[in-house]
Structure 1
């Protein structure tokens, strides 16, 4: 959970309004999404997190607080939530060197994106804005040709299409994770995976065969030994 002061700075830089379609990348325990639900309306708030456990926690907390209409989904935050794009406001609650391109593509024209920019302890809260008039990716951004009636592929944006609107001081947040980096992700290396499994199972516990052998050996004396 973010400290209240950091959450306040991020939300102040985001500058959400009533009815703004909002995406939170990094649902956490649901606190920031709940605050945004009060401002924009619960049905306009969407949150994603790469950790399935945190998604469950956020859903439970939001439901208990009366914000059942907030959508919380398990997804790779670096890819955003294209099914519900475009978004007027996007808040990334994890540090990155620059906004992920897929997330930028989902920002509506004139929208605002906020994230902690930088690595390690050298991070700054930065608010970006899209000042172009291009449609965003996804079905909602498709452009219909008046001559043929065909649906043309929409133009997409990238980090270069953003304008830095303001900064809101230093901050220190965890880095934005991609699929496979979250806690509990599968381990591809068999040795590392089995070592972790044996450790959880107590494979080398004192009650195992190693202890029994040592205990028997200590009871042997004389020629029996």
Structure 2
């Protein structure tokens, strides 16, 4: 069947009251314009389900719709996506704000290469995709009007909040005290709006990306390690070790 027809059927399903995840008219047009089959194999491109590729999850169309409805980006907004995946979300966002206003980072280098290739092939070569630790953001291009974090965390990383404009918004899946997740929009001042339950992989730190042989310690583990080291020896023990292997004169 023709891809345009399949795409139209996908949009109808997202708008229909059975799902009702797509309400914004501009977003509806944007999702209808992006050739999803350039990012997902044709047999699965327009089905409303996730797709695994190179160890990352290509989000289902309904999930992308929910994220971008919450983000509420306008034409000309400078935007950052943390967790670019293969680039589909970035392509839809490019339809909304203009491709040169979309910046994306991913911690996994193979995913970055794949996203660049797919975006170029789909006609969105102006989107910038860089290999970065997402928690650090993309300070060279800050400040941003909108930041979308496609990974779960307890609270937005401070660096991302600092890269928002004064009236900017960050949307992310928040891990609650009970261990569940819900989609939230925050400003620098705190919670702006909550949008319901979601399920995302946690935000990775450098060393946890696909293909890495050894995971780096996280900040919490670093603190515990430092404390243990500080308590494990006294000053005289360190002096003894330093002098132990030195021959006398």
For Structure 1 versus Structure 2, the TM-score category normalised by the shorter chain is: 0.5 to 0.7
1:32-91 Cα shifts (integer Å, max 9, x gaps) = 000000000000000000000110111011001110000000000000000100000000
Q: Structure 2 unaligned segments of length 5 or more: list them.
A: 1-57, 217-249
1:167 is matched with 194
TM score, norm. by length of structure 2? 0.61
CA contact (8 A) 1:23 1:47 kept: yes
2:214 and 2:171 map into 1 onto residues whose CA distance is 32
Residue among 123, 132, 149 paired with 1:66? 123
Residues 43-82 of structure 1: matches in 2 within 5 Å? Answer: 43-82=100-139
Question: Quick one: structure 1 residues 75 and 2, their matched pair in 2 at CA, closer, same or farther if it must change by over 3 Å?
Answer: same
SS of 1:28 mapped into structure 2: coil
2:164 and 2:215 map into 1 onto residues whose CA distance is 35
The Cα of 1:187 is off from its aligned counterpart by 2.6
2:215 and 2:87 map into 1 onto residues whose CA distance is 31
The Cα of 1:104 is off from its aligned counterpart by 0.7
1:190-216 Cα shifts (integer Å, max 9, x gaps) = xxxxxxxxxxxxxxxxxxxxxxxxxxx
2:186 is matched with 128
The Cα of 1:121 is off from its aligned counterpart by 6.1
The Cα of 1:163 is off from its aligned counterpart by 2.4
1:185 is matched with 212
SS of 1:115 mapped into structure 2: strand
Structure whose CA Rg is larger: 1
Residues 109-124 of structure 1: matches in 2 within 5 Å? Answer: 109-118=166-175, 122-124=180-182
2:126 and 2:179 map into 1 onto residues whose CA distance is 35
1:87 and 1:6 map into 2 onto residues whose CA distance is 22
2:71 is matched with 14
1:15 and 1:82 map into 2 onto residues whose CA distance is 22
CA contact (8 A) 1:121 1:171 kept: no
| Number of equivalences | 158
Moved over 6 A (4+): none
Instruction: Give the number of the structure with larger relative contact order, counting CA–CA contacts within 8 Å between residues 6 or more apart.
Output: 1
The Cα of 1:129 is off from its aligned counterpart by 1.9
**RMSD, aligned α-carbons:** 1.6
The Cα of 1:188 is off from its aligned counterpart by 7.6
2:194 and 2:215 map into 1 onto residues whose CA distance is 40
2:120 and 2:193 map into 1 onto residues whose CA distance is 34
Q: Structure 1 unaligned segments of length 5 or more: list them.
A: 131-161, 190-225
TM score, norm. by length of structure 1? 0.68
